[in-house]
Amino acid sequence: MVIGLCIIQILNLFNNLIFKVMKGFKNNHTILFFILLFAGCLFSQENNEIKIDDLKAPASPAFTILGINPTSIERPETPRVLGVTILNNFSSINVLPKSFAFDVAPYWLCSHPDLTFDMYYYNKNSNILDNLWRNFSVSIATTPLDSPKVGTSLGFGVHTILTTFSKPGKNLDENVNAYKEILKIQVYRVDLLNNISKMNYSRFGEIGDAIKKEISSFILNQNVLSDMNPKKKEDYLKLLEKYLLQSLNEKRDSENLNDTSLIDSKRANDIIKYIKDKMIEIADTQVKVAREKVREQEKKRVGFLLEFAAAVAGEFKDDSIKYGEFSKIGAWITPMYSMTDAIDIIGIVRYLVLYENKEIKSHKVDAGLRLLIRNKSFGFSFEGIARTEAGKTTHQRFAFNLDYKLADDIYVTGTFGKDFEGKPIIGKGDLITLLGINFGMGKEPLVKLPK
Amino acid sequence: MEKEVNFKSEYEVSDGDIYLTIVIGNGQPGSSIVKINKIIIKDGEIKNLKLGNGNELKGKTLSVTSYVDDYQVNTNDTCIQYLLTGGKEPKKYYLDATVDVDGDRVVYNTDIKFI
């Protein structure tokens, strides 16, 4: 939360600066949009590894209940430990963004000593309550009251994933096994370097001999990498030996040493430390590559997922606690079918109770569908929702939404369409024109789903 | 990068067989090497591993090196538990460490002397 508030402060300063620069321009919101778009194009050319889905905070029920989400049917997501969403729209871009949402997944705020990787990844020994709790998130959001009212709306929501019948990429098991093998080799690299650092050396060449001797003893020991076939085991260990000797030789060449050069214990320690550091650099790459391959398979998940969310909203007129009152309570389920890793069909059934002057004003039921197409840099969607109320006319909402990645931690979202009659997002009509700027907290927000 | 955690302790044996289980928590993946008096007896995931009879193990040292990767995007915390049973009483040793940067690793070096 503290981190989130700091970011908000920085963003406020940034926004103030832009506002001052643009002061005097009549159509300043358009200029700001193009500045952001231009900056985004520049930044996004630097690094395209992060997909727009990685940046997006999972749908915040607190934002949804306030009715200020760019889309009314949000893509179900597993939570991240902390998410921040900041939204603004064209009509008010000349002031600071005033709509904020914070999401927290409480499960991940404390340690789970008994949760192993396999329990987490393959859902071993986990019951339904474990999964509900792991995917549970709490959100709080605020936005100014619609004009002419003065004050603040506050939303509080919860969400979790009820169930999933989806499959990750077909190479997941293979990649998980490869990842585990890499970690197994790394522990032998650590062990080997620990062993040779405890030995005494008088000549440089003895360090290389010690490395070869350790590798040979690993190859001959049947308890080492016993679940690998012998050929694979030897290949892995020979590769480890190659990297170790390469690092050793680098040190030899850089210091003009040869195998017969005399070294004392301090010099030997320095050389072994150099090898350790070099091997850690190599491990950084090897482990990262193996880890990312697992995550890539996870992102290729296709199939069915069902999310549940509930939220309440209150209005605080004149920003005063004593004038605070409930305005909405709602609960909704969001089924999603991912046809491929780029196309989702998302539905929603939502029940809303609206309050006015502390009395129930109406009960409404929303039902809708959204088609979402996404790739690395953008997401495009179209949604349609019907809202019914007992004894009254059914109203519809239609909206096009485009998300575009500006930079590694920022994307813009724009929505255009027609809102429910009598419930505009902005202004007095039913036109939807919303520009949102979303600042992601971390590059890999998604918790994986049970297999 | 890699963070190192070193730990030493003792475990009181009795006449029975001693078993070791290692649990790497917080949903993080990892691997371990188990040694008795510097001789490797098992690697990988360790569950109810029979180390030997208490009388034979007395005076020897159990060494475990574990390598844990920070896979989880929602936490940088890693932790490990060593559960020893079959001695005078079961004992659980708990260690934890937080990586400074997403995707870093932690090396746990543990020596437990059987007494």
Structure confidence by residue, pLDDT tens digits, A382-419: 999 999 987 777 888 899 988 888 776 677 888 888 88
What contacts A267, CB < 8 A, 6 or more positions away? Answer: none
pLDDT at A117: 92
* Partner residue opposite B74 with nearest CB, options A105, A188, A191: A105
More confident residue, A4 or A309: A309
Q: Do A446 and B96 touch (CB under 8 A)?
A: no
State residue A334 phi and psi, 5-degree precision. Answer: -130, 100
Tabulate helix, strand, coil % of chain A (nearest 5).
40, 30, 30
Residue A342 CA to residue A303 CA, distance in Å, equals 12
Alpha carbon distances (Å) from A286 to A81, A281, A291: 26, 9, 9
pLDDT at A440: 55
Count CA atoms closer than 13 A to A163's CA, side-chain side: 2
Q: Which of residues 13-42 of B touch A (CB under 8 A)?
A: 23-33, 40-42
pLDDT at A96: 58
Residue B55 CA to residue B15 CA, distance in Å, equals 6
DSSP A422: T
pLDDT at A164: 81
At which residue do the structure tokens 């619609």 appear? A146
**Tokens standing for residue A77:** 């997501």
Closest C-alpha to A379, from A413, A408, A409? A413
**Tokens standing for residue A312:** 């309440």
Name the H helices within A143-171.
Answer: none
Residue A248 CA to residue A261 CA, distance in Å, equals 14
Q: Is the pLDDT of residue A216 over 70?
A: yes
In contact, A57 and A79? CB cutoff 8 Å: no
The pairing of strands B49-53 and B105-114 is: unpaired
DSSP A171: T
At which residue do the structure tokens 């997941």 appear? A172
Q: Which tens digits make up the pLDDT trace of A220-264?
A: 999 999 889 999 999 999 999 999 999 999 999 998 888 888 888
Residue A45 CA to residue A28 CA, distance in Å, equals 26
Beta partners for residue B78, in sequence order = B97
The shortest C-alpha distance from A284 to chain B (Å) reads 7
Q: In chain B, what's the furthest Cα-to-Cα distance?
A: 46
In a mutational test of the B interface, the residue from A190, A293, A298 whose CB has the highest number of chain B CBs within 10 Å is A190
User: Which chain B residues contact residue A441 at CB under 8 A?
Assistant: none
Q: Do B31 and A183 touch (CB under 8 A)?
A: yes
Q: Do A183 and B69 touch (CB under 8 A)?
A: yes
Closest C-alpha to B22, from B51, B57, B2, B1? B51
More confident residue, A381 or A43: A381
Give the helix/strand (H/E) hosting A4.
helix A2-22
Q: Which tens digits make up the pLDDT trace of A160-197?
A: 989 888 788 888 889 999 999 999 999 999 999 999 99
Closest C-alpha to A193, from A271, A141, A304? A271
Q: Which tens digits make up the pLDDT trace of A35-61?
A: 444 444 444 333 434 454 544 445 688
Residuewise pLDDT in 10s, chain B (115 residues): 899 999 999 999 999 999 999 999 999 999 999 999 999 999 999 999 999 999 999 999 999 999 999 999 888 999 999 999 999 999 999 999 999 998 999 999 999 999 9
Calculate the dihedral angle through the C-alpha atoms of A338, A343, A344, A345, rounding to the nearest 10 degrees.
-110
Q: Which tens digits make up the pLDDT trace of A61-118?
A: 888 888 777 777 777 766 666 666 666 554 554 445 677 888 888 998 889 999 999 8
User: Which chain B residues contact residue A184 at CB under 8 A?
Assistant: 31, 43-44
Q: Do A223 and B40 touch (CB under 8 A)?
A: yes
pLDDT at A165: 84
Q: Which of residues 99-118 of A touch B (CB under 8 A)?
A: 105, 108, 111-117
pLDDT bracket for residue A379 (50, 70, 90): confident
**Tokens standing for residue B23:** 């649990």
pTM score: 0.77
Sheet holding B30-36, edge to edge: B2-11, B105-114, B61-69, B30-36, B39-44
Instruction: State the DSSP string of B99-113.
Output: -SSTT-EEEEEEEEE
pLDDT at A45: 37
DSSP A446: P
User: Which chain A residues contact residue B81 at CB under 8 A?
Assistant: 113-114
* Partner residue opposite B65 with nearest CB, options A79, A190, A223: A190
What is the distance, to the nearest Å, from the Cα of residue B95 to the centroid of all Cα atoms in its chain? Answer: 9
Secondary structure class of A344 (helix, strand, coil): strand
Q: Supply the Cα-derived Rg of chain A in whole angstroms.
A: 28
At which residue do the structure tokens 């690094």 appear? A47
